[in-house]
Amino acid sequence: MAYLQDTKPLKLGDISRMRTGGEKIAMLTCYDSSFAAMLDRCGVDAVLVGDSLGNVIQGHATTLPVKIEDMVYHTECVFRGMERAFLIADMPFGSYQESREQAMRNAAKLMAAGAQMVKVEGGAYMAETVRFLVERGVPICAHIGLTPQSVHQLGGYRIQGKGDNAASAMLADALALEQAGAALMVIEMTPTETATRITNALKTTATIGIGAGPHCDGQVLVLYDMIGVFPGKRPRFVKNFIPDTGTIEGAVKAYVAEVKSGAFPAKEHGY
């Protein structure tokens, strides 16, 4: 299988071709210019400026306190450090739920900061907002399964899509979001069987798993988790790549290689 080796900046079409060509998409979160440059030279395909910065940078217990101004600032920082990787930025809690117009205003801020795509959490109820943004030139990454911005409503960080009814509901969400125009879709903390069913059902949308098994079109982890820096409890789906490599750069290269080969995630990282 021929993997993309070009060093020119990746565009959405390149990410789509990776999906259709069977090449796994390696994604990591990033929040600053120095790490962005390192991830770039290590071959990471897509970088997510995640609202997880609320946890790993700001020290909050959830992502809820993160503001759009925080996301714009960190997106600008990451953008300045990158040359090749595809750049995605999270829409933080409260920045897109009020109205489609509010979502467009804040998405425009992130795109102006350097993002090539923005990510929004939620199921079919977000489809109209997704369609509104896509029709106005904003590429969208959807996020289903465990959605951290809904942590209080979900009753904590719990597995989603477990059981036939929940799996069918999640599939319906995924199909509605694809129809609305979402080009990527993060599936978080979901049984492997459910995530595989969704991945196989989608025709154009690439799935990115995090605790969703090995059969998604790509994988994402929080950078601070996969290098063992974050002091909180390590989720089951995380692998610390530092012990086997000894350096952060080695860990990132190993992560990319294992995602590409299918070695990560292994069975013990799934549900």
Q: Which of 178, 188, 249, 258 is catalytic?
A: 188
Nearest CA-CA partner of 145 in 98, 203, 97, 210: 210
Q: Within the chain, where are the H helices? A: 12-21, 33-41, 53-56, 68-81, 100-112, 127-135, 151-154, 164-180, 192-201, 223-226, 248-261
In angstroms, rounded to a whole number, what is the distance separating the alpha carbons of residues 222 and 51?
10
In angstroms, rounded to a whole number, what is the distance separating the alpha carbons of residues 232 and 263?
25
Q: Is the bond preceding residue 265 a cis peptide, omega within 30 degrees?
A: yes
- Tokens at 178, concatenated: 């694809």
223 phi/psi in degrees, rounded to 5: -50, -45
In angstroms, rounded to a whole number, what is the distance separating the alpha carbons of residues 131 and 150?
22
- Tokens at 68, concatenated: 């759009």
> Does residue 69 have an active-site annotation?
no
Exposure string of 83-99, with b = 16+ CB inside 10 Å and e = fewer, is ebbbbbbbbbbebbbee
Nearest CA-CA partner of 154 in 106, 192, 190, 107: 190
- Contact between 234 and 206 under an 8 Å Cβ cutoff? The reply is no
- Tokens at 177, concatenated: 């979001």
Work out the angle between the directed axes of helices 164-180 and 192-201 (0-180°, nearest 10).
30
Instruction: Show which residues are catalytic.
Output: 188
